[in-house]
Amino acid sequence: MKNWTTSVGALAVMTLAIVPRLAAAQSIEEKVELCAACHGDKGVPIDKDTPVISGQTQGYLYFQLRDYKSGARKDDRMAPVAQMLERPDMLALAEYFSKQPWPALGQPQAPADVAARAQRTNTAVACTGCHQGEYQGEGTQPRLAGQWKDYLLRTMLDFRNRKRGNNPGMSDLMLATPEDELAPMAEYLAGR
Ligand code: HEC
Ligand code: HEC
Protein backbone atom coordinates (compact mmCIF):
# COMPACT_ATOMS: atom_id res chain seq x y z
CA MET A 1 0.00 0.00 0.00
CA LYS A 2 2.84 2.35 0.90
CA ASN A 3 4.45 1.80 -2.51
CA TRP A 4 1.19 2.44 -4.28
CA THR A 5 0.71 5.76 -2.45
CA THR A 6 4.28 6.74 -3.24
CA SER A 7 3.82 5.96 -6.90
CA VAL A 8 0.59 7.99 -7.17
CA GLY A 9 2.39 10.89 -5.44
CA ALA A 10 5.29 10.58 -7.86
CA LEU A 11 2.91 10.66 -10.81
CA ALA A 12 1.26 13.84 -9.51
CA VAL A 13 4.72 15.46 -9.32
CA MET A 14 5.41 14.19 -12.84
CA THR A 15 2.18 15.80 -14.11
CA LEU A 16 3.29 19.14 -12.61
CA ALA A 17 6.68 18.84 -14.32
CA ILE A 18 5.30 17.82 -17.69
CA VAL A 19 2.35 20.14 -18.24
CA PRO A 20 4.40 23.33 -18.81
CA ARG A 21 6.75 21.42 -21.14
CA LEU A 22 3.73 20.17 -23.07
CA ALA A 23 2.47 23.72 -23.43
CA ALA A 24 5.82 24.66 -24.97
CA ALA A 25 6.16 21.59 -27.21
CA GLN A 26 5.66 22.42 -30.89
CA SER A 27 5.89 19.16 -32.81
CA ILE A 28 4.05 15.89 -32.28
CA GLU A 29 7.46 14.22 -31.71
CA GLU A 30 8.11 16.53 -28.75
CA LYS A 31 4.65 15.81 -27.32
CA VAL A 32 5.12 12.05 -27.76
CA GLU A 33 8.32 12.25 -25.70
CA LEU A 34 6.39 13.84 -22.84
CA CYS A 35 3.71 11.13 -22.94
CA ALA A 36 6.55 8.60 -22.72
CA ALA A 37 7.53 9.95 -19.29
CA CYS A 38 4.56 8.00 -17.91
CA HIS A 39 3.44 5.69 -20.74
CA GLY A 40 6.99 4.46 -21.37
CA ASP A 41 9.49 5.13 -24.15
CA LYS A 42 9.33 1.54 -25.43
CA GLY A 43 5.59 1.42 -24.78
CA VAL A 44 5.92 -0.17 -21.32
CA PRO A 45 4.31 2.23 -18.80
CA ILE A 46 6.22 3.20 -15.68
CA ASP A 47 3.70 1.54 -13.36
CA LYS A 48 0.85 -0.98 -13.44
CA ASP A 49 -1.81 1.67 -12.91
CA THR A 50 -0.82 3.50 -16.12
CA PRO A 51 -2.28 1.85 -19.23
CA VAL A 52 -0.42 0.77 -22.35
CA ILE A 53 -1.30 3.17 -25.19
CA SER A 54 1.23 1.94 -27.80
CA GLY A 55 -0.69 -0.27 -30.21
CA GLN A 56 -4.08 0.73 -28.77
CA THR A 57 -6.86 1.38 -31.30
CA GLN A 58 -6.87 4.82 -32.90
CA GLY A 59 -10.51 5.87 -32.44
CA TYR A 60 -10.46 4.77 -28.81
CA LEU A 61 -7.28 6.76 -28.05
CA TYR A 62 -8.76 9.89 -29.57
CA PHE A 63 -12.04 9.51 -27.63
CA GLN A 64 -10.16 9.17 -24.33
CA LEU A 65 -8.07 12.32 -24.91
CA ARG A 66 -11.24 14.19 -25.87
CA ASP A 67 -13.06 12.89 -22.77
CA TYR A 68 -10.21 13.79 -20.37
CA LYS A 69 -10.22 17.30 -21.78
CA SER A 70 -14.00 17.73 -21.52
CA GLY A 71 -14.05 16.17 -18.04
CA ALA A 72 -16.33 13.29 -19.14
CA ARG A 73 -13.50 10.97 -17.98
CA LYS A 74 -11.91 12.25 -14.80
CA ASP A 75 -8.31 11.62 -13.73
CA ASP A 76 -6.02 14.01 -11.87
CA ARG A 77 -2.98 12.88 -13.85
CA MET A 78 -4.42 12.91 -17.38
CA ALA A 79 -6.79 15.89 -17.14
CA PRO A 80 -4.02 18.56 -16.96
CA VAL A 81 -2.19 16.80 -19.81
CA ALA A 82 -5.29 16.77 -22.04
CA GLN A 83 -5.95 20.43 -21.27
CA MET A 84 -2.73 21.21 -23.15
CA LEU A 85 -3.89 19.44 -26.33
CA GLU A 86 -6.05 20.72 -29.16
CA ARG A 87 -8.13 18.45 -31.39
CA PRO A 88 -5.48 18.17 -34.17
CA ASP A 89 -2.86 17.17 -31.53
CA MET A 90 -5.20 14.53 -30.16
CA LEU A 91 -5.88 13.10 -33.60
CA ALA A 92 -2.16 13.06 -34.43
CA LEU A 93 -1.21 11.46 -31.09
CA ALA A 94 -3.95 8.83 -31.47
CA GLU A 95 -2.66 8.01 -34.94
CA TYR A 96 0.96 7.89 -33.79
CA PHE A 97 0.39 5.61 -30.80
CA SER A 98 -2.02 3.32 -32.69
CA LYS A 99 0.80 2.59 -35.16
CA GLN A 100 3.33 1.57 -32.49
CA PRO A 101 3.71 -2.10 -31.56
CA TRP A 102 1.89 -3.33 -28.45
CA PRO A 103 4.62 -4.09 -25.85
CA ALA A 104 4.94 -7.53 -24.28
CA LEU A 105 4.45 -7.01 -20.54
CA GLY A 106 5.18 -10.66 -19.76
CA GLN A 107 2.17 -11.21 -17.52
CA PRO A 108 1.48 -14.90 -16.87
CA GLN A 109 -1.33 -16.73 -18.66
CA ALA A 110 -4.31 -17.28 -16.33
CA PRO A 111 -4.64 -20.79 -14.87
CA ALA A 112 -7.43 -22.95 -16.35
CA ASP A 113 -10.00 -22.32 -13.59
CA VAL A 114 -9.56 -18.53 -13.84
CA ALA A 115 -9.77 -18.68 -17.65
CA ALA A 116 -12.97 -20.77 -17.41
CA ARG A 117 -14.61 -18.15 -15.16
CA ALA A 118 -13.63 -15.36 -17.56
CA GLN A 119 -14.99 -17.32 -20.51
CA ARG A 120 -18.31 -17.78 -18.68
CA THR A 121 -18.48 -13.99 -18.18
CA ASN A 122 -17.81 -13.52 -21.88
CA THR A 123 -20.59 -15.98 -22.72
CA ALA A 124 -23.00 -14.01 -20.51
CA VAL A 125 -22.05 -10.48 -21.61
CA ALA A 126 -20.48 -11.01 -25.07
CA CYS A 127 -17.39 -8.89 -24.40
CA THR A 128 -15.82 -10.17 -27.64
CA GLY A 129 -18.91 -8.98 -29.57
CA CYS A 130 -17.49 -5.48 -29.16
CA HIS A 131 -13.86 -5.99 -28.14
CA GLN A 132 -13.38 -8.41 -31.07
CA GLY A 133 -11.91 -11.88 -31.25
CA GLU A 134 -8.87 -12.37 -29.02
CA TYR A 135 -9.80 -9.01 -27.38
CA GLN A 136 -7.74 -7.13 -29.99
CA GLY A 137 -10.19 -4.22 -30.28
CA GLU A 138 -11.02 -2.18 -33.36
CA GLY A 139 -11.73 1.50 -34.06
CA THR A 140 -13.34 2.96 -30.93
CA GLN A 141 -13.44 -0.41 -29.09
CA PRO A 142 -10.24 -0.78 -27.07
CA ARG A 143 -7.82 -3.66 -27.16
CA LEU A 144 -7.85 -5.43 -23.78
CA ALA A 145 -5.44 -8.33 -24.49
CA GLY A 146 -2.12 -7.91 -22.69
CA GLN A 147 -3.09 -4.71 -20.83
CA TRP A 148 -1.88 -4.39 -17.21
CA LYS A 149 -3.98 -6.56 -14.91
CA ASP A 150 -4.11 -3.92 -12.14
CA TYR A 151 -5.25 -1.19 -14.53
CA LEU A 152 -7.91 -3.43 -16.12
CA LEU A 153 -9.40 -4.34 -12.76
CA ARG A 154 -9.37 -0.76 -11.50
CA THR A 155 -10.98 0.69 -14.62
CA MET A 156 -13.67 -2.03 -14.70
CA LEU A 157 -14.49 -1.23 -11.05
CA ASP A 158 -14.47 2.49 -11.94
CA PHE A 159 -17.03 1.83 -14.70
CA ARG A 160 -19.05 -0.26 -12.26
CA ASN A 161 -19.31 2.46 -9.61
CA ARG A 162 -19.54 5.14 -12.34
CA LYS A 163 -16.37 6.88 -11.20
CA ARG A 164 -15.45 6.38 -14.86
CA GLY A 165 -18.52 7.98 -16.42
CA ASN A 166 -17.54 8.46 -20.05
CA ASN A 167 -19.30 5.36 -21.36
CA PRO A 168 -22.60 4.58 -19.59
CA GLY A 169 -23.02 1.45 -21.74
CA MET A 170 -19.81 -0.08 -20.31
CA SER A 171 -20.96 0.90 -16.80
CA ASP A 172 -24.25 -0.96 -17.33
CA LEU A 173 -22.38 -4.04 -18.58
CA MET A 174 -20.05 -3.99 -15.56
CA LEU A 175 -23.05 -3.64 -13.24
CA ALA A 176 -24.60 -6.67 -14.97
CA THR A 177 -21.42 -8.65 -14.15
CA PRO A 178 -20.99 -9.90 -10.56
CA GLU A 179 -18.20 -7.88 -8.96
CA ASP A 180 -16.16 -10.94 -7.95
CA GLU A 181 -15.93 -12.03 -11.62
CA LEU A 182 -13.95 -8.92 -12.55
CA ALA A 183 -10.62 -10.00 -10.99
CA PRO A 184 -10.61 -13.33 -12.89
CA MET A 185 -11.49 -11.41 -16.07
CA ALA A 186 -8.61 -8.95 -15.54
CA GLU A 187 -6.16 -11.80 -14.92
CA TYR A 188 -7.35 -13.65 -18.02
CA LEU A 189 -7.14 -10.57 -20.28
CA ALA A 190 -3.72 -9.53 -18.95
CA GLY A 191 -2.23 -12.94 -19.75
CA ARG A 192 -3.42 -12.98 -23.38
C1 HEC B 1 1.91 12.10 -15.41
C2 HEC B 1 1.80 10.84 -16.09
C3 HEC B 1 1.14 10.84 -17.44
C4 HEC B 1 1.48 11.59 -18.57
C5 HEC B 1 2.56 12.64 -18.71
C6 HEC B 1 0.59 11.16 -19.62
N7 HEC B 1 -0.27 10.18 -19.16
FE8 HEC B 1 -1.80 9.33 -20.20
N9 HEC B 1 -2.38 8.31 -18.52
C10 HEC B 1 -1.76 8.36 -17.29
C11 HEC B 1 -2.52 7.59 -16.32
C12 HEC B 1 -2.18 7.37 -14.88
C13 HEC B 1 -3.66 7.08 -17.01
C14 HEC B 1 -4.84 6.29 -16.44
C15 HEC B 1 -5.85 7.30 -15.96
C16 HEC B 1 -7.24 6.77 -15.70
O17 HEC B 1 -7.37 5.74 -15.06
O18 HEC B 1 -8.20 7.38 -16.22
C19 HEC B 1 -3.53 7.55 -18.40
C20 HEC B 1 -4.45 7.27 -19.41
C21 HEC B 1 -4.29 7.63 -20.73
C22 HEC B 1 -5.17 7.22 -21.81
C23 HEC B 1 -6.35 6.29 -21.68
C24 HEC B 1 -5.89 4.86 -22.01
C25 HEC B 1 -6.92 3.79 -21.83
O26 HEC B 1 -6.60 2.61 -22.03
O27 HEC B 1 -8.05 4.12 -21.50
C28 HEC B 1 -4.69 7.80 -22.96
C29 HEC B 1 -5.26 7.66 -24.36
C30 HEC B 1 -3.51 8.56 -22.60
N31 HEC B 1 -3.30 8.45 -21.25
C32 HEC B 1 -2.73 9.27 -23.51
C33 HEC B 1 -1.67 10.10 -23.14
C34 HEC B 1 -0.95 10.94 -24.08
C35 HEC B 1 -1.21 10.99 -25.58
C36 HEC B 1 -0.01 11.63 -23.35
C37 HEC B 1 0.96 12.70 -23.84
C38 HEC B 1 0.34 13.86 -24.49
C39 HEC B 1 -0.15 11.20 -21.97
N40 HEC B 1 -1.16 10.27 -21.89
C41 HEC B 1 0.62 11.66 -20.92
C42 HEC B 1 -0.59 9.05 -16.99
C43 HEC B 1 0.04 9.97 -17.83
C1 HEC C 1 -21.65 -3.18 -26.48
C2 HEC C 1 -20.20 -3.21 -26.70
C3 HEC C 1 -19.34 -3.66 -25.52
C4 HEC C 1 -19.43 -4.80 -24.77
C5 HEC C 1 -20.44 -5.93 -24.88
C6 HEC C 1 -18.32 -4.75 -23.82
N7 HEC C 1 -17.58 -3.61 -24.00
FE8 HEC C 1 -15.98 -3.01 -22.89
N9 HEC C 1 -15.92 -1.26 -23.90
C10 HEC C 1 -16.72 -0.94 -24.98
C11 HEC C 1 -16.37 0.39 -25.44
C12 HEC C 1 -16.99 1.14 -26.61
C13 HEC C 1 -15.33 0.85 -24.59
C14 HEC C 1 -14.64 2.21 -24.64
C15 HEC C 1 -15.39 3.14 -23.73
C16 HEC C 1 -14.81 4.52 -23.71
O17 HEC C 1 -14.78 5.17 -24.76
O18 HEC C 1 -14.38 4.93 -22.63
C19 HEC C 1 -15.07 -0.23 -23.63
C20 HEC C 1 -14.11 -0.16 -22.63
C21 HEC C 1 -13.72 -1.24 -21.86
C22 HEC C 1 -12.58 -1.25 -20.97
C23 HEC C 1 -11.60 -0.11 -20.72
C24 HEC C 1 -10.32 -0.34 -21.49
C25 HEC C 1 -9.26 0.67 -21.17
O26 HEC C 1 -8.19 0.63 -21.80
O27 HEC C 1 -9.47 1.52 -20.28
C28 HEC C 1 -12.53 -2.49 -20.39
C29 HEC C 1 -11.52 -3.00 -19.40
C30 HEC C 1 -13.64 -3.26 -20.92
N31 HEC C 1 -14.34 -2.47 -21.82
C32 HEC C 1 -13.93 -4.56 -20.58
C33 HEC C 1 -15.06 -5.26 -21.04
C34 HEC C 1 -15.41 -6.58 -20.60
C35 HEC C 1 -14.60 -7.43 -19.62
C36 HEC C 1 -16.59 -6.91 -21.21
C37 HEC C 1 -17.45 -8.14 -21.02
C38 HEC C 1 -17.77 -8.47 -19.63
C39 HEC C 1 -16.96 -5.77 -22.05
N40 HEC C 1 -16.00 -4.80 -21.93
C41 HEC C 1 -18.06 -5.72 -22.87
C42 HEC C 1 -17.70 -1.71 -25.54
C43 HEC C 1 -18.16 -2.90 -25.03
Residues 6 or more apart in contact with residue 107 via CB below 8 angstroms:
146, 148, 149, 190, 191
Average pLDDT of the segment spanning 51-80? 97
> Where a domain ends, among 70, 98, 126?
98
Same domain, 17 and 81: yes
Where does the chain have alpha helices with state H? 2-24, 28-39, 58-70, 78-83, 87-98, 112-125, 127-131, 149-160, 168-175, 182-190
Does some domain include residue 105? no
Does some domain include residue 7? yes
Q: Does the pLDDT value for residue 91 go beyond 70?
A: yes
Q: How confident is the model at residue 23 (pLDDT cuts 50, 70, 90)?
A: confident
Ligand nearest to the CA of 17: 1
**Range with lowest mean pLDDT among 13-22, 26-35, 74-83, 84-93:** 13-22
pLDDT at 14: 82
* CA-based nearest residue to 152, from 116, 188, 126: 188
pLDDT single digits (tens) 25-64: 889 999 999 999 999 989 999 899 999 999 999 999 999 9
Same domain, 93 and 119: no
- Cα 122 to its chain centre, rounded Å, is 20
> Where a domain ends, among 41, 66, 98?
98
pLDDT at 8: 64
Helix/strand/coil for 141: strand
> Where a domain ends, among 98, 126, 146?
98
| Dist. CA 167 → ligand 1 center (Å) | 17
Give me the domain span that covers residue 56: 2-98
Ligand 1 mutation pick, 29, 39, 96, max ligand atoms within 8 A of CB: 39
Instruction: Please tell me the pTM assigned to this model.
Output: 0.95
Same domain, 85 and 131: no
Length of the chain: 192
Count up the domains in the chain and report the number: 2
Across the chain, mean pLDDT equals: 94
Q: Does the pLDDT value for residue 134 go beyond 90?
A: yes
